[in-house]
Amino acid sequence: MPVSFDSDQRIFKLDTAGSSYVFQIYDEGYLVHLYYGAKIPDINLSLHKYKGWFCSPAPVNINIDDPDFSPDVNTFEFPGEGTGDFRESAIAIGNADGNNSTDFRYVSHRIYDGKPALKGLPSLHISDDSQAQTLEVLTCDKVTGIQAVLYYTVFEEFSAMTRSVKVINPSGNEVEIERIMSACVDFNTRDFDLITLYGKWGKERSVNRSPITHTRQSVSSKRGSSSHHQNPFAAIVDRDAGEEHGNAYGFNFVYSGNFLFSADPDPYGGARVIMGINPEGFGWRLKPGEEFTAPEVVMVYSGDGIGAMSRTFHRLYSKHLIRGAWADVKRPLLINNWEATGMDFTGDKLVTFAERAKELGIDMLVMDDGWFGRRDDDKSSLGDWFVNEEKLGGPLNDFIKRINDLGIKFGIWFEPEMVSRDSDLYRLHPDWCIHVPGREKSIARYQYVLDYSRKEVRDYIYSLMYGILSENNIAYVKWDFNRNLSEVGSAALPAENQREVFHRYVLGVYEIMDRLTSDFPGLLLENCSSGGGRFDPGMLYYSPQIWTSDNTDPIERLSIQFGTSLCYPASTMGAHVSASKRAGYETKGNVALWGTFGYELDPNKFTDEDREIVKHQVGEYHKYYDIIHKGDLYRLISPHENHWRAAWMFVSPDKSEALLTCVVMRKPEDRSFYLKLRGLDSGKYYVDDESGEVYSGALLMNAGLCLNRFGMEDGDSFKIYLRAL
The alpha carbon dihedral of 538, 19, 183, 165 has a sign of positive
Contact residues for ligand DGJ, defined by CB under 6 A: 338, 368-369, 413, 480, 482, 528, 530-531, 547, 550
Catalytic residues: 480, 550
DSSP type of residue 523: P
> Based on the number of CB atoms within 10 Å of its own CB, is 359 exposed (0-12), middle (13-18) or buried (19 or more)?
middle
Q: Minimum distance between the CB of residue 136 and ligand DGJ, rounded to whole angstroms? A: 41
Q: How far apart are CA 228 and CA 230, in angstroms?
A: 6
C-beta nearest to ligand DGJ: residue: 369
Q: Minimum distance between the CB of residue 521 and ligand DGJ, rounded to whole angstroms? A: 24
435 vs 534, which CB is nearer to ligand DGJ?
Answer: 534
480 vs 632, which CB is nearer to ligand DGJ?
Answer: 480
Q: How far apart are CA 326 and CA 110, in angstroms?
A: 35
Closest C-alpha among 707, 701, 625 to residue 661: 707
DSSP type of residue 668: -
Q: Minimum distance between the CB of residue 382 and ligand DGJ, rounded to whole angstroms? A: 9
Q: Minimum distance between the CB of residue 413 and ligand DGJ, rounded to whole angstroms? A: 6
On whether the CB atoms of residues 129 and 83 are closer than 8 A, the answer is no
Q: Minimum distance between the CB of residue 549 and ligand DGJ, rounded to whole angstroms? A: 8
Write the DSSP assignment of 344-404 as a string of letters: ---HHHHHHHHHHHHHHT--EEEE-S-SBTT-SSTTB-TT---B-HHHHTS-HHHHHHHHH
Q: Minimum distance between the CB of residue 14 and ligand DGJ, rounded to whole angstroms? A: 40
> Based on the number of CB atoms within 10 Å of its own CB, is 210 exposed (0-12), middle (13-18) or buried (19 or more)?
exposed
Q: How far apart are CA 531 and CA 552, in angstroms?
A: 10
Angle 629-634-635 from CA coordinates, rounded to 5°: 115
CA distances to 599, 611, 679 from 581, in Å: 14, 17, 34
94 vs 532, which CB is nearer to ligand DGJ?
Answer: 532
369 vs 586, which CB is nearer to ligand DGJ?
Answer: 369
> Based on the number of CB atoms within 10 Å of its own CB, is 125 exposed (0-12), middle (13-18) or buried (19 or more)?
middle
Q: Minimum distance between the CB of residue 398 and ligand DGJ, rounded to whole angstroms? A: 24
Q: How far apart are CA 521 and CA 91, in angstroms?
A: 38
Q: Minimum distance between the CB of residue 555 and ligand DGJ, rounded to whole angstroms? A: 19
| Number of neighbours of residue 197 by Cβ within 10 angstroms | 24
On whether the CB atoms of residues 479 and 540 are closer than 8 A, the answer is no
Q: Minimum distance between the CB of residue 663 and ligand DGJ, rounded to whole angstroms? A: 23
Q: Minimum distance between the CB of residue 195 and ligand DGJ, rounded to whole angstroms? A: 26
H helices within 410-553, ranges in order? 424-428, 455-471, 501-519, 537-540
On whether the CB atoms of residues 298 and 540 are closer than 8 A, the answer is no
Q: Minimum distance between the CB of residue 369 and ligand DGJ, rounded to whole angstroms? A: 4
Strand pairing report for 545-547 and 31-38: unpaired
Write phi, then psi, for 578 (nearest 5 degrees): -120, -175
Q: Report the greatest alpha carbon distance in the chain.
A: 84
Closest C-alpha among 288, 321, 319, 260 to residue 117: 321
Q: How far apart are CA 672 and CA 705, in angstroms?
A: 10
CA distances to 138, 142, 211, 369, 609 from 309, in Å: 30, 39, 19, 37, 41
On whether the CB atoms of residues 132 and 126 are closer than 8 A, the answer is yes
* Residues paired with 624 in a beta bridge: none
Q: How far apart are CA 353 and CA 640, in angstroms?
A: 36
2 vs 532, which CB is nearer to ligand DGJ?
Answer: 532
Q: How far apart are CA 115 and CA 129, in angstroms?
A: 7
193 vs 480, which CB is nearer to ligand DGJ?
Answer: 480
195 vs 592, which CB is nearer to ligand DGJ?
Answer: 592
Q: How far apart are CA 210 and CA 284, in angstroms?
A: 34
186 vs 550, which CB is nearer to ligand DGJ?
Answer: 550
155 vs 479, which CB is nearer to ligand DGJ?
Answer: 479
CA distances to 57, 118, 353, 514 from 575, in Å: 56, 31, 19, 25
282 vs 371, which CB is nearer to ligand DGJ?
Answer: 371
338 vs 371, which CB is nearer to ligand DGJ?
Answer: 338
